[in-house]
Chain A
Amino acid sequence: MQTKAQAISIEATSPLKRSSNRQNKRIRIGLLCLAPAMIVTFVFMIGPALWSIYISLTNMSLTGAGAATPQWVGLQNFIQVFHDGEFLGALRVSLTYLVFSALIGQAVLGFLLALLMRKRNRVFKAILGGIIIVAWVIPDVVAGFLWSTFLAGGPQSVLAPGTLNVIMQVFGQPLHAWLQDYPTVMIIIANIWRGTAFSMMLYASGLESVPDELLEAAAVDGAGPWVRMWSVILPLLKGTIATDLLLITLSTLSDFTLVFILTGGSNASTELMTIYQYRQAFQFYQIGYGSAIALLIIVVGAVLSLLYIRLLRIEL
Chain B
Amino acid sequence: MTLRRALTATPIYVILVVIGLFFLVPLLWPLIASFNPAATLSLQLPTNPSLVNFTTIIENGTVIQPFANSLILAVSTMVLVIILAGLAAYPLSRYQFRFKKLLMYFILFASALPVLALVTPLYAMYVTLNLQDTLFGCILFFVASSLPFCTWLMKNFLDGVPVEMEEAAWIDGASTVDTLRYILLPLAAPGVAVVGVWSFLGAWTNFFVPLIILQSQNLLPASVSIYTFFGAYGQVNYGQLAAFAMLYALPAIALYTLVSRFFVRGVSGGLKG
The verdict on A133 contacting chain B, using a C-beta distance below 8 Å, is: yes
Residues of A contacting B223 with CB < 8 Å?
A: 139-141
Bound complex: CA of A33 vs CA of B95, how far in Å? 12
Q: Are B117 and A146 in contact (CB under 8 A)?
A: no
Residues of A contacting B212 with CB < 8 Å?
A: 282
Interface range on chain A: under 10, 10 to 19, 20 to 34, or 35 or more?
A: 35 or more
Residues of A contacting B80 with CB < 8 Å?
A: 40
Among the 9-residue stretches B54-62, B144-152, B167-175, the one with 4 or more Cβ atoms under 8 Å from chain A is B144-152
Q: Are B151 and A37 in contact (CB under 8 A)?
A: yes
Q: Are B23 and A132 in contact (CB under 8 A)?
A: yes
Q: Are A40 and B41 in contact (CB under 8 A)?
A: no
Residue from A36, A109, A202 within 8 A of B87 (CB atoms): A36
The verdict on B6 contacting chain A, using a C-beta distance below 8 Å, is: no
The verdict on B99 contacting chain A, using a C-beta distance below 8 Å, is: no
Among the 9-residue stretches A2-10, A13-21, A41-49, the one with 4 or more Cβ atoms under 8 Å from chain B is A41-49
Chain B nearest CB, measured from A278 CB (Å): 8
Chain A nearest CB, measured from B79 CB (Å): 13
Residues of A contacting B253 with CB < 8 Å?
A: 134, 137-138
**Residue of A with least CB distance to B150:** A37
Beta-carbon contacts under 8 Å, A247-271 to B: 247, 250-251, 253-254, 256-257, 261
Among the 9-residue stretches A71-79, A82-90, A148-156, A176-184, the one with 4 or more Cβ atoms under 8 Å from chain B is A148-156
Q: Are A291 and B120 in contact (CB under 8 A)?
A: yes
Q: Are A257 and B208 in contact (CB under 8 A)?
A: yes
Residue from A33, A40, A142, A287 within 8 A of B245 (CB atoms): A142
Determine chain A's interface SS by DSSP, over half rule.
Answer: helix
Q: Are B84 and A37 in contact (CB under 8 A)?
A: yes
Bound complex: CA of A137 vs CA of B115, how far in Å? 19
Q: Are B124 and A133 in contact (CB under 8 A)?
A: no
- Which residues of chain B have a CB within 8 Å of any CB of chain A? 9, 12-13, 15-16, 19-20, 22-30, 40-43, 80, 83-85, 87-88, 90-92, 95, 109, 112-118, 120-125, 140-141, 143-145, 147-148, 151, 201, 204-205, 207-208, 212, 223, 226-227, 230, 238, 241, 245, 248-249, 252-253, 256, 260, 264, 267-268, 271-272
